[in-house]
Structure 1
Amino acid sequence: MAENENGTERSEEATPDKIRKSKEKGQVARSKELATASVLISAAFALLVFGDRLAYELSVMMKYSFTFERSVLFSPEYLWIHLTTSFKGLAMPMFIILFMLFVISILGSSLLGGMIFSTKSMMPKWSRLSPKAGLKRMLGMQAWVELLKSILKVLVVIGVAWTILAMTFEQILNLSMTPLPGSVFEALDMITWMFILLCCSLLVIVAVDVPYQIHKHSQELKMTKQEVKDEYRNSEGKPEVKQRIRQLQYEASQRKMMGDVPDADVIVTNPTHYSVAIKYEQDGERAPYIVAKGVDFMALKIREVAREYEIPVMEAPPLCRAIYHTTEIGDEVPEELFIAIAQVLAYIYQLDQFRKGKSGRPKPLPNDLKIPKGFQYND
């Protein structure tokens, strides 16, 4: 496993934030062999496509260059005209090939790691001037890997070149017997295919180098457990700070909830553990909904506010538990509990009318309010 300079083991995979920061610095997996092979193979196929045109223009240029009158040799003005005319036909195919290679060189470099523009990677690093660091790079694992790749590259290219020459030796000798311009076309065609095969041999090196570069970059980005913890704290915040924020948010929500209790029409209680504040707007479109609820101490505080604002408090343990466990603040009462809630609200309305002297004393609220089985809680 990778280690830091202080010997700490880097056993953890890089986090997304670490990968993002490394990309911002221009630190991504790169393969020089892939970029080189892309350019060379593209150049070979460009010659295959435009080779005939180049051979033709080259033969025209040679014929034009070696066909002139004796008087031309003594004319300095004609020298420049002759030179530009000679290369005029080669300009377009050469421009197309060079432009294509320019594009491929950029794309080939970004095939692994993507295209990244980073000014940080261009900044000077004084640590690179350290003789100790330079000696470490020269004798490090990366230097040995590059040496092995170079040896492998030479052996592969030499092996492929030797094989090609052995197979085409007689054809090469026969070129001297072929008249112009046929020999030029044949020679260019032969050179192009030799070049293609030699370039394709580099794919063996690429197949080895690309996985190695990905693995190497992954190892370089690995983090220690402490680094992962520090990054989590920096990105997510310290646990004690987050806990304090959650506590403040909870206290703020509780204060808001307690501020809505005076607007309730009735408080349904357990009576000791739970309290639920319910509001019903007779002229509105909403069913009865929850404005506050609480357990233990918060339930007691709800009942204290209710007594302060003279809000009716009804003891209905099964109904209170059912509402508490199946709703959140702001939710409407479930349809399954509408009958029980209607009985409570009707009793509250009749009780209010009795207190105002407009009707007789209402019958006590029945103790056995019907609660569906799916809404029965015994805690």
Structure 2
Amino acid sequence: MAEDSENEKTEEPSQKRLDEALQRGDVVKSQEVNTWFVMGAATLVLMVFSGSMSSSLMTSMRGLVANAHQIRVDGPALPQLFQKIGIELIGGLAVPFLLLLIAAVAGNMVQHRLVWSFEAVSPKLSKISPLAGLKRLFSAQTLANFAKGLVKLIVVAVVLLALMWPERYRFEGLVTTDPAVLLPFIKVLALKLMGAVVAMLAVVAAADYFFQYRQWHERQKMSLQELKEEFKNTEGDPHIKGRLKQLRQVRMKKRMMANLPKASVVITNPTHYAVALQYERGMEAPICVAKGMDALALKIRELAGQHSIPIVENPPLARALHATVEVDDAIPAEHYKAVAEVIGFVMKLRRTPGGR
């Protein structure tokens, strides 16, 4: 049982573990955040650059159509024509596409710093293993992605229906509408639809990022055995040493709080020190079940009060016991007499009517 508990991944990851994950390319990544950035950038492009893009392309195409009868398409003239059209298209669309590219990169950078790792794309047998493929197919991540996609589809459909339904009668007349009037209407409608989708995706992206972070954090957790091995391999790294010390203190505190109700008496300073002792008939000597200073001493006093455990103020004895006895150990022989007097006083108090 002790070995199983040491192998359970219950401990927070060390900085070394996080650095290794970053080197492997194992980072928090939500595709929904990237989608939100790209959709937001597309909406911004449509809002700001649609007029200038359409004017630039219209001017180019107007000249092409107006002089179509003079354009040569034989021999090398045709490739030159395509080259000219391509250059004009690139000139009109370069800035919007650059913004979309920046948005795609920004969607990754807000989640984690740039990582250059080829481990994720390196060939592995597990990637072509049918058994591994089945595990991935029915994993929690796959089910979450399916549920997320289904929710997105339903929400987008509802949003689009809510926005398009009031405009249904106007669509009938668009067939005979002049293009000069039609294009502004389409732009306004497209902006309205994209704005609604961006707002909806913001909620989805935030929820998905939280889910992906929790999944990633669970993957990085370590067992106590892994922490010990890492400490051994790093030859006493001060960060690992501090982490292990902190873990031991937390475990010790939890054990003391769990054992405190067994105490027979709590000896205090009265505020700076508190030592809880357990004594039952047949014991060779009282055992320390909890001890602490300052805030921990106050917590011990509070729990003692909740469990009706007698609290005896004896500053010299409290300081001496705190300095010489460890939790779960019997008190030293030099304190037998003083502790015996305290325990005798407590037992006498309990036999007294109205005593604790």
TM-score by length of 1: 0.55
In the superposition, relative to structure 1, how do residues 23 and 81 fare at CA in structure 2: closer, same or farther (>3 Å)? closer
How far apart in 1 are the matches of 2:61 and 2:181?
Answer: 14
Q: Could you list the runs of 5+ residues in structure 1 that have no partner in the other structure?
A: 243-379
Higher relative contact order (CA 8 A, sep 6+): 2
In the superposition, relative to structure 1, how do residues 117 and 87 fare at CA in structure 2: closer, same or farther (>3 Å)? closer
1:193-247, Cα deviation, whole Å (9 max, x unpaired): 3223223322222121010011000001111111111112222449xxx9xxxxx
The reply on whether 1:199 has 2:177 as its aligned counterpart is: no
In the superposition, relative to structure 1, how do residues 8 and 90 fare at CA in structure 2: closer, same or farther (>3 Å)? same
Fraction of identical pairs, as percent: 23
CA contact (8 A) 2:6 2:224 kept: no
Shift of 1:41: 1.5
| Alignment match, 2:121 | 122
How far apart in 2 are the matches of 1:55 and 1:63?
Answer: 11
CA contact (8 A) 1:44 1:192 kept: yes
How far apart in 1 are the matches of 2:83 and 2:46?
Answer: 23
| Alignment match, 1:210 | 209
Equivalent AA in structure 2 for residue 137 of structure 1:
R
| Alignment match, 1:277 | none
Equivalent AA in structure 1 for residue 205 of structure 2:
V
In the superposition, relative to structure 1, how do residues 121 and 89 fare at CA in structure 2: closer, same or farther (>3 Å)? closer
How far apart in 2 are the matches of 1:114 and 1:194?
Answer: 32
Tell me the C-alpha RMSD between the 2 structures.
3.0
CA contact (8 A) 2:56 2:92 kept: no
In the superposition, relative to structure 1, how do residues 17 and 199 fare at CA in structure 2: closer, same or farther (>3 Å)? same
| Alignment match, 1:220 | 219
Shift of 1:30: 0.6
Q: Could you list the runs of 5+ residues in structure 2 that have no partner in the other structure?
A: 242-356
How far apart in 1 are the matches of 2:199 and 2:184?
Answer: 22
Shift of 1:171: 4.1
| Alignment match, 1:165 | 164
| Alignment match, 1:229 | 228
Q: Secondary structure at the match of 1:11?
A: strand
| Alignment match, 1:140 | 139
Equivalent AA in structure 2 for residue 202 of structure 1:
L
Equivalent AA in structure 2 for residue 114 of structure 1:
R
How far apart in 2 are the matches of 1:174 and 1:31?
Answer: 42
CA contact (8 A) 2:53 2:92 kept: yes
Q: Secondary structure at the match of 1:119?
A: coil
Which of the two has higher C-alpha Rg?
1
| Alignment match, 1:32 | 31
In the superposition, relative to structure 1, how do residues 176 and 26 fare at CA in structure 2: closer, same or farther (>3 Å)? same
CA contact (8 A) 1:65 1:86 kept: no
How far apart in 2 are the matches of 1:217 and 1:159?
Answer: 32
In the superposition, relative to structure 1, how do residues 172 and 84 fare at CA in structure 2: closer, same or farther (>3 Å)? farther
Alignment of 1:26-175 (within 5 A): 26-68=25-67, 70=69, 72=71, 83=82, 89-175=88-174
1:312-367, Cα deviation, whole Å (9 max, x unpaired): xxxxxxxxxxxxxxxxxxxxxxxxxxxxxxxxxxxxxxxxxxxxxxxxxxxxxxxx
Shift of 1:190: 2.6
Q: How many residues align?
A: 235
| Alignment match, 1:186 | 185
Q: Secondary structure at the match of 2:66?
A: coil
In the superposition, relative to structure 1, how do residues 167 and 41 fare at CA in structure 2: closer, same or farther (>3 Å)? farther
How far apart in 1 are the matches of 2:136 and 2:68?
Answer: 63
Shift of 1:178: 3.6
Q: Secondary structure at the match of 2:222?
A: coil
CA contact (8 A) 1:55 1:184 kept: no
| Alignment match, 2:20 | 21
1:224-279, Cα deviation, whole Å (9 max, x unpaired): 111111112222449xxx9xxxxxxxxxxxxxxxxxxxxxxxxxxxxxxxxxxxxx
Equivalent AA in structure 1 for residue 124 of structure 2:
K
CA contact (8 A) 1:38 1:108 kept: yes
